A = this chain, B = another copy of it.
């Protein structure tokens, strides 16, 4: 799963207290808490990446346990920009490198790429998940921004673009539902 923060928005962005000029760590935080706490991730079947506004890729170790507090997570991201890895010694739980979304996709070579956006064609999430479930290395891209849409570059990288609700759902809600439906599709064992 890739959480993309490089969005197109014509108005001026109000980042507020939680903005650090590189995106919205509060949104990323909530999405990652849901993703990393999922049974899919416990079973080592999920890889999470964050594509930042300034074209960096954050790679998450599936075993990373994130702080529950927004400000402490934001401090981790700031630390990551200084040291490129957190923790700075020992096996890193988060890594940062300069990389575009296009280069990331080339590196992980998925056989299916789907982006969820209000501009996509309507399709229930379980149907989107069923499609992803037929691929060997599927990638789902979710927008991690408060307003606006994927940039044209991102849209061009995803052959499939869907919206899963007429309402504009929050990014973490989308992440939670996508992973749950995907687990049901691939038959993640619960008991």
Contact = CB atoms under 8 A, between A and B. Distances in A.
A69 B18 contact: yes
A18 B67 CA distance: 11
A34 to B, nearest CB: 6
B68 A191 contact: no
Interface string A85-99: 000000000000000
Nearest to A146: B68
Contact of A37 (B17, B124, B169): B169
Contacts of A167: 39, 42
Nearest to A184: B126
B68 A30 contact: yes
B180 A176 contact: yes
Nearest to A73: B70
Contacts of A106: none
Interface residues of A, number: 30
Q: How many copies does the complex hold?
A: 2
Interface string A33-48: 1100111001000000
Contact of A70 (B68, B164, B165, B169): B68
B177 A190 contact: no
Contact of A177 (B18, B164, B176): B176
Contact of A191 (B38, B122, B169, B190): B122
A164 B184 CA distance: 13
Contacts of A30: 30, 33, 68
Contacts of A17: 69
A34 B190 CA distance: 22
Contacts of A103: none
Contacts of A173: 34, 37-38, 176
Nearest to A123: B191
A71 B69 contact: yes
A33 B172 contact: yes
